[in-house]
Amino acid sequence: MSIIRAQTPQEAAQQASGLWTTMLESSDFPTDEACITLIANFQFPHIRDRLMADIPGINEPPQHILFAQTQTAPRWSRIEWAQQLLLHSYTRTSPQHAAPILTTIGYINWWEGRGSKAHQYMQLALDTDPGYRFASLTDHMLGAGIIAGWNTNKNTAYKTRLDMA
């Protein structure tokens, strides 16, 4: 984290995005060192938001991506892989650094229309860090019944293998 802090915010975000994009475009799990770097990057809110906006693999404004309100359908297979990468990284983190990873996994579940599962991840994040504001705010959003925009359109909504059968 000290290496990230020593960079300009833009430089740090670009490096983090490059690492994350490489992970998302690979079909292999990253090294432990790469996972630790990813976990460190997620500790910084401006980098976390950028990395989250990179997940769906679409080129639209980040705020539209984060609230699932894009014209373009997300690449769901890439989102599923991102969740696997984050779960893999989570197994390599310490409790004090887990909240951003758990919150992002929960957020992915919200994108996929799994509000109850998303809520469970927010609770796990808040168990590890009761003051983690992003998890708290996201959990309030879930509690208010806000549905990810992608799930209001059959062309952009997440489909499980059962939906496609």
HEC assignment per residue over the chain: CHHHHHCCHHHHHHHHHHHHHHHHHCCCCCCHHHHHHHHHHHCCHHHHHHHHHHCCCCCCCHHHHHCCCCCCCCCHHHHHHHHHHHHHHHCCCCHHHCHHHHHHHHHHHHHCCCHHHHHHHHHHHHHHCCCCHHHHHHHHHHHCCCCCHHHHCCCCCCCCHHHHC
Residue 95 lies in a domain: yes
The total of structural domains in the chain comes to 1
The answer to whether residues 107 and 118 touch, using CB atoms and an 8 Å cutoff, is yes
pLDDT of residue 160: 74
**Residue 164 maps to a domain:** no
CATH of residue 70's domain is 1.25.40
pLDDT at 159: 86
Task: Flag whether 146 is in a domain.
Answer: yes
Name residues of the chain where pLDDT drops below 50.
164-165
Instruction: Confirm whether 73 is domain-assigned.
Output: yes
Residue 6 lies in a domain: yes
Q: Is residue 163 part of a domain?
A: no
For position 165, what pLDDT does the model report? 45
> Which residue type, as a one-letter code, is found at position 9?
P
Residue 136 is encoded by which pair of tokens?
A: 């708290």
What's the pTM value of the predicted model, to 2 decimals?
Answer: 0.94
Spatial neighbors of 132 by CB under 8 A, at least 6 apart, are 99, 100, 103, 125, 126
In a domain, 67, yes or no: yes
What whole-number distance in Å separates Cα of residue 118 and Cα of residue 156?
Answer: 19
Structural domain including 20 reads 2-153
Instruction: Tell me which residue of 144, 142, 122, 146 sits closest to 133, measured CA to CA.
Output: 122
Task: Please report whether residue 121 resides in a domain.
Answer: yes
Reading the block at residue 85, the tokens are 């990468």
pLDDT of 161 reads: 59
